[in-house]
């Protein structure tokens, strides 16, 4: 590991921490192990075991993000919070953009919507920008809706081809191979990952916003539309961050848990328990807020001009 990279990583991390503290966020430190997790069918997890000769052994799980703990703090009146911590995702090949153990920056701002958090993220990038920052990372951000991206890079409207059968037909028109049994989300991802994402502009950081609500997340739905209040941030053609206006309706969260847990148990190699009472943390007492999860290793890689996160992680996996 290059000693200069270690110093640069330390400085960027310090600057991120200062940015949030200057804005009166409370820094929190939550566990890396949990007895249950939020079910997310797109993420594989690590399972371990707590060995206790007196009280019996039990399964624990490494967190894929600190969201499960941070939302408990929000429900208890923590106010604006942020955290820089290790997170873990299984079944991902180590490479220039991936490491199974990685550093996550996550923050929640009360009174904010997903659109408000675009400006907060731009301000963070302003705070990190130096004379050496590559031009394609400097704010202001570009902004594009998912519908605009589909129109621009496939020639077709996603909104007008939203049914599963229409999406399957759209794959055929675009010469994208499908497999029997592909569900809506798989069909969407085939088009998005093959045609849309590789074509996104890279001259500036890009916020791609208003994701289809059929992609199940804990983001609020945009009222009266097929979209959810969610965006992802791309830098240098790579996904850097994910943002929601956080859902706070207990019934919707309970239904999400039920549906996503069943699907995850069906497709994932490692199943995990869920807290059947997690939805009770939400409701009128839970603040209106927006959260952002940002990959620190990727951010540091881009701001230091490196081409692989393996170069900025002190002990990367081989």
- Reported as a single tens digit per residue, the pLDDT across 41-50 is 999 999 999 9
> pLDDT at residue 248 above 70?
yes
- Reported as a single tens digit per residue, the pLDDT across 176-200 is 999 999 999 999 999 999 999 999 9
> pLDDT at residue 1 above 70?
no
> pLDDT at residue 285 above 80?
yes
Quick one: pLDDT at residue 2? 85
pLDDT-based confidence at 92, cuts 50/70/90?
confident
> pLDDT at residue 247 above 70?
yes
Mean pLDDT of 155-160: 98
Short-list 133, 137, 123, 143, CA closest to 236: 137
CATH topology of domain 3-141+245-311: BirA Bifunctional Protein; domain 2 (3.30.930)
Residues of the chain with pLDDT > 70, as a percent, come to: 100
Q: What are phi and psi of 126, to 5 degrees?
A: -60, -45
Question: Which residue in the block uniquely carries the two structure tokens 């995702």?
Answer: 89
Q: What is the mean pLDDT of the chain?
A: 96
Quick one: pLDDT at residue 241? 98
For residues 231 and 219, give the distance between their C-alpha atoms in angstroms, rounded to a whole number.
Answer: 10
Share in percent of the chain as helix, strand, coil (round to 5): 35, 25, 40
pLDDT-based confidence at 283, cuts 50/70/90?
very high
CA angle 87, 54, 36 (to 5 degrees): 30
> pLDDT at residue 138 above 90?
yes
- Reported as a single tens digit per residue, the pLDDT across 96-115 is 899 999 999 999 999 999 99
Domain ranges of the chain: 3-141+245-311
**What is the pTM assigned to this prediction?**
0.96
Residue 74 CA, chain-centre distance (Å), reads: 18
Quick one: pLDDT at residue 140? 96
Cβ atoms of residues 114 and 209 within 8 Å: yes
> To which H or E segment does residue 3 belong?
helix 3-22
Residue 316 CA, chain-centre distance (Å), reads: 21
């Amino acid at each position: 590991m290059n000693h200069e990279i270690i110093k640069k990583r330390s400085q960027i991390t310090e600057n991120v921490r200062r940015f949030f503290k200057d804005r009166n966020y409370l820094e929190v430190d939550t566990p890396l192990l949990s007895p249950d997790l939020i079910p997310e069918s797109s993420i594989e997890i690590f399972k371990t075991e707590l060995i206790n000769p007196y009280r019996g052994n039990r399964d624990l799980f490494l967190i894929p993000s600190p969201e499960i703990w941070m939302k408990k703090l929000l429900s208890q009146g923590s106010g604006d919070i942020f955290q820089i911590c290790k997170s873990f995702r299984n079944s991902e090949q180590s490479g220039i953009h991936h490491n199974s153990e990685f550093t996550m920056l996550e923050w929640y701002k009360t009174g904010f919507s997903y659109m408000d958090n675009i400006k907060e993220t731009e301000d963070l990038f302003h705070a990190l920008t130096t004379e050496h920052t590559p031009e394609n990372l400097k704010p202001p951000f570009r902004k594009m809706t998912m519908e605009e991206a589909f129109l621009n890079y496939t020639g077709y409207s996603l909104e007008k081809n939203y049914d599963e059968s229409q999406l399957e037909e759209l794959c055929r028109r675009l010469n994208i191979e499908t497999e029997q049994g592909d569900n809506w989300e798989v069909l969407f991802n085939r088009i998005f990952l093959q045609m849309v994402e590789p074509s996104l502009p890279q001259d500036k950081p890009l916020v791609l916003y208003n994701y289809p609500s059929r992609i199940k997340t804990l983001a609020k739905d945009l009222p009266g539309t097929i979209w959810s209040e969610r965006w992802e941030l791309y830098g240098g053609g790579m996904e850097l961050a994910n943002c929601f206006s956080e859902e706070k309706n207990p019934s919707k969260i309970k239904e999400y848990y039920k549906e996503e847990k069943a699907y995850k148990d069906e497709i994932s190699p490692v199943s995990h328990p869920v807290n059947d009472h997690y939805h009770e943390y939400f409701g009128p007492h839970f603040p209106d807020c927006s959260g952002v999860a940002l990959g620190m290793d990727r951010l540091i890689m881009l701001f230091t001009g490196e081409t692989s996160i393996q170069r900025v992680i002190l002990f990367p996996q081989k």
